[in-house]
Structure 1
C-alpha cells in the first residue's frame, strides 16, 4: 500500500508557507523557499528509503478456526512475527462484517521484548449471527523512522470464525444434569419397562403375559416357555429440526426492535434446544442424531456418541438458515423410512400452528408412527391460550383469535395421539426443559 503523509510532514510543509513572503520584503531571499522545499523533499525521500523494510519482515497470522458463541463476548487471537527488530507502535485494523460488534476497529500495540520475535494480540468481539465467516484482510500501520509517513501494509490471515448457538444460559439451567460427578451418592431409581432386546428363555411362571410366550420353543418342549428381555441401556435418539419459512418467525420472548436483523427466531430456539438435548443424551449414554429439513433434507448426522460426534453435530448446526419456502414433510418421511431401520425416538421441532403445515404433517406421519416413537413439539405463539385463562383480556378480538388457534392445536393433538404420536405445546422459554424432561421420561419408562 502507498505511504500516507503524516501530521508531522504536513506541519513541516505548512511551516514553509511563510517563506513565500520573503521575496516581497527582500527580493534577494527568493531562493529560501525553493531551498526549504528541496530540503524537506530530500528528507522525506531519505525517510522513506530508511523505512522501506519496517513492515516487510512483519507476518500476521490468525487462528485457523476461532469458535464463538452467539451474543456472548469472545476474542480472536492474532499472532505477529517479525524477522527483524520490531517497529515502533503498530496500529492494526480488522474490518469485520456488520454482524460483529467490536469495541474498536483499530488497535495500537507496542511490540516489546529483547530478542522476542513473536507476539500475540487478543482481539475482543461479539458475534450477533451464527455461521462461518472468513477473516477479512488486516491492515497494519506504523510511522516511518523520522515520523514523516504512515507506512501501511495489507495482510491476508488464513482463518475463519465459526459462531455457534449460545448454550450458556441453558447450561446454568441444567447445571445439576451436566455436572459429571460419577455415580457416587446417586440414588437407585427403578427403571420402568422390560426392554425389547431378547435375552434368554425360561420356564413359564404364573402371571406371565401371553405375548411373552415363545410358542415355537413351547411346542418343542411340550411345556410353556417364556421369553425374557434385557433392559435397553443404549438407545437411538434423533432430533428433527424444521427450518422452513415458519422457522424465521420471531421468538415469543424476543424483546429487540422489529427492525433488528439479528433478533431471536424460532430456528435459534430450535438449535439451542437441540444442542441441550444432545448433551443430555450424551450424559445418559445414548446415541444422538440430527436431521434438519426444509424443502429437502439438508442435514443428516447418524446417531452416535463421543467427542468427535459432538463436534460433528456442532458443525452441522452453526450455519443452518431458515428457508423461504414451506417444509416438505413427504420428502422427510420418505427419507426417514429409507434411513432409519431400527426403532428410534424421533423428537420433532416444528411449527404446526399453520393449518396447511398441520394438514401435511398429519397426512404424512402415518408412514413412521407405527415403527418409531414420535414426539412433536411446537412453541406456543403469543396469545395462543383458552379463553378466561389468566388476566382479563385487553383486546377481546385477539383473545378470541388466540382461543381459536389453541382449539385447532388441541384438535390436532387428539388426531395425532390417535395415530400414536405425542404432541406438546411448549412455552418459548421452557422449550429446552420440556425436551429434556420428555427424553428422560421416555428413557426411564423404556418406551422404546
Structure 2
C-alpha cells in the first residue's frame, strides 16, 4: 500500500499481498469512513478508470480554445469547469471519453454539424500534441492500457449527436478514421437518424430508415452505438438491429426521476443487459434525483428576489458571499450517495456486469452532487460503494472492465464484418 495510508490501516492490510488476497482478508464495511476513503484513493490510482462522457472539447470551444493557442489551459488547475489535468490525476481518472458535442440547432444548416465535429476533434488532438507528457489519444482498450502504464491520461472520443454524419452514410467510416469510437444517435431534437427523448414530435416513431443503415454501418466499422438521448422507441429499434452490445454513455435510472424519458426505465435496462451492453451513470442533479429541480428552483428564486430587494448584481461581492452562504444552508443538491443508489439499482436489477460511469462533467453545469463536483472526487463514490459492500472486483468492472468488454466485442465484430 502507498505511504499515505495510516499506520492502523497498514496493520489491517498487512496480510494482503495481492488484490485477490486482500479481497479475502478485508471487510471494507468495517473500516472507518476515513480509512475507507484512503482505500478508495488507492483503488482509484491502481485501477484503470473510464468515464463515458466528459464535455471538455465544447467547454474549450466556448472558453476560447483555438488551434493556435490554448486560452483555456487544462494542463494546469483551472478556476472553473469540472476537468483539468491536476484534478484528473488526483481522482484517478485515466480515460475520459471526450464528447464531440454537436448542438441540435446546427441540424438546420447543412454541413455545419460535420464541420463542428471536425474542429472539436482537432482541439482534442491538439491537447495531446501540446502536452504529450500528460495526454494521449486512445482508439482502443489496448491504447488505454498502454497509456495507463505510462501514467498518461487517455482521450478516447465519442460523438454526441449523430447529426454530425449529415445525410451521408460514408461519414460513419470517415469518423471512425478520425478516431470516433461511439456515436450518440440523437441529442435534443429528432434528427435524420431517429427520435430523441427531449423531443415530443416522434418524427419516425423510433429509428428512421437511414438510422437503421447507420446502426448497421456503425457495427460494420467498429463504432459503439450509444443510446443516451434517444427516445424509448429509438432505443428498442436500435437494440433490434444491432449485432453487438450497445452503450448508454451518460444516462441514469428513471425510477428516481419518474417521467424523465432521458433516463432509462427498468424495461430498457433489462433489454440492454440482455444485449450485453452497459449503461454509464450520469452524475447530473436532474438525472439522479427528481427533487433537485424543485429544490434548486426555490434557491434561484430566493436569490433573484434578494438581488432585486438589495439592488445588487450577480457580480457584486456582497451578493456572491450571501449566495454561497444561502445555498450552503439550503443545499438543493443530491449527494454522492444518490449516485451509488443508481448503481445499486442496476446491479440489483440485472447484475454488476452492465453498469459503468458516465459523469457528464463539464456538461451539466453546477448541478453536480455534493461529493462529486469534479474529476478529483471519484474516490468519494468508490468509498461509498465499499461502504455498501462492493468488492474490489465489482468496482473494477464499474470503472473499466464492463466498457472494455463491450468495446472489445464491437472491435472483434468489425474485424470480421464484410
Using structure 2 for the length normalisation, give the TM-score: 0.32
Structure with the larger helix share: 2
| Structure having greater relative contact order (Cα 8 Å, sep ≥ 6) | 2
Using structure 1 for the length normalisation, give the TM-score: 0.30
Larger Rg: 1
